[in-house]
Amino acid sequence: MENKKIRVRFAPSPTGHLHIGGARTALFNYLFAKKYNGTFILRIEDTDELRSTKESMQSIFESMKWLGLTWDEGAMDEEKEIGNFGPYIQSKREELGIYKKYADYLVKNGFAYYCYCTPEELDEMRKKAQLEKRPPKYDGRCRRLSEEQRKDYEKEGRRPVIRFKMPDMGITSWNDLIHGELKFENNLLYDFIMIKASGYPTYNFACVIDDHLMEMTHIIRGDDHISNTPLQINLYNALGWQAPEFAHLSMILGPDGSRLSKRHGATSVGEYRKAGYLPITMKNYLALLGWSTKDSQQIFEKGELEEKFSLEGCQKNPAIFDPVKLSWMNGEYIRKLTKEELYELAIPFMKESNIDLSKTKVNPKDIVFIEREKYKLLSDIPRLVGFFFKDDIDYDPESVEKVLKKEKVKDILSQIKDVYLSIPEKNFKEKIIEENTRKFSKERGYKNSQVFHPVRVAVSGRAEGPTLFKMMEYLTKDTVIKRIEKALTFVS
């Protein structure tokens, strides 16, 4: 493969956001190109005139960039492109007459024909096939229309489509790089529409023309396209072109074994980004959906996926999308971040939670970093450390009831407040706070837990959180005193 210049593409339809299945397909094409020093192309297939939108196209561009799937050729935005095989947006290619040229050639040479059947006639055809327990496919009635019949239909105002004339006999087969040899009997295939009545090409027609003209060597896509492949191979044959190699990726299922959908939670890349997943996590996790190394490696360092990926490691069986594993993996990658990296990533999530990062006397980077071991999502950060940046904190009712309402707590908080007041502000550091608190517990005959727990709830509003004395140091003496005083107002 090293001797052949690899060219692969990701060709999404801009009818919505980039979803998990599409992102996985894009990633595998990207990794395959990187592994063999090939070219990764992004082509926009907007032949669905009614559902394609500029907003969806832009969303796809943004999600690809966020995942780090940089393409070598293709559409960069609606107007800008890079590469010598453009346009890379199908609607622009249609405007140039690229598809019409090949459709006309196929009609002229007897490989395609004009079909004037109405939606009502096609529906009647389907119903008849169902009654006769036959596959509901077009019956070919327009294959041999005379010129006179065509003119009569056009006088009626019928607008034709152009259908491909599928061979009636024989078998279409190919060696799929994941599934092995796949075969389809031609008499079970159908005369698919190449050009719609609107003049727009269909998916099966346009992608073959584009893949050939853009010199694709490999087509890596989801296995929901397996049924399209024999149609496309016959089109390649009719045009006298060599078909590229095909590799069909396994389906992605939800944890319940059904096809991944919105009922399983977030399905678009943008939703995961907003929830606080790292792009490296998504890239790593998507790679494991239907592919693995021989030693089942789970976590990959930067550049490792590009080095280790191979189609041989792709599985035929469906992949299970596990949100629990994804969150675990995100936590693992968060813990690999430096203090500075974590802080930069936390900023937008803190701002979205209306947290003013300037409301602290200590370095906010230290505060964000203090709970690093507990973060699974970047969106966890405001919830876990937000109380450091607020004048008024919310007290968790359960923690108040279980901890602050206990016997002797009022006396303990009043007395420990005096201990903290006696510590000079410049000495209000973790080690000194801990020494003084432990000394107080021992001298007054309290268990450490009798003092530590009420202090924690009083200064943070909750029973769980960062290491107590480091937390108090970061809160600073003034804030600790104020919060203990506030807690004393509702302690029994």
* Alpha-helical regions (H) of 117-257: 119-131, 147-155, 203-213, 229-239
The alpha carbons of the chain give a radius of gyration, in whole angstroms, of: 32
Q: Which helix (H) or strand (E) holds 249?
A: strand 245-249
Catalytic residues: 262
Structure tokens at 172: 């279409």
Q: Which helix (H) or strand (E) holds 115?
A: strand 112-115
* Count of beta carbons in the 10 Å neighbourhood of residue 19: 21
Structure tokens at 94: 């249609």
Tallying the residues shown for the chain, one arrives at 492
* Count of beta carbons in the 10 Å neighbourhood of residue 70: 11
E-state strands within 284-407:
319-320
- d(CA 26, CA 313) in angstroms, rounded, equals 17
Sequence-distant (≥ 6) Cβ neighbours of residue 329 within 8 angstroms: 281, 284, 285, 298, 299
User: Residues 237-242: contacts with CB within 8 Å, 24+ apart?
Assistant: 238/106, 238/109, 238/111, 238/112, 238/164, 239/102, 239/105, 239/106, 239/208, 239/212, 241/212
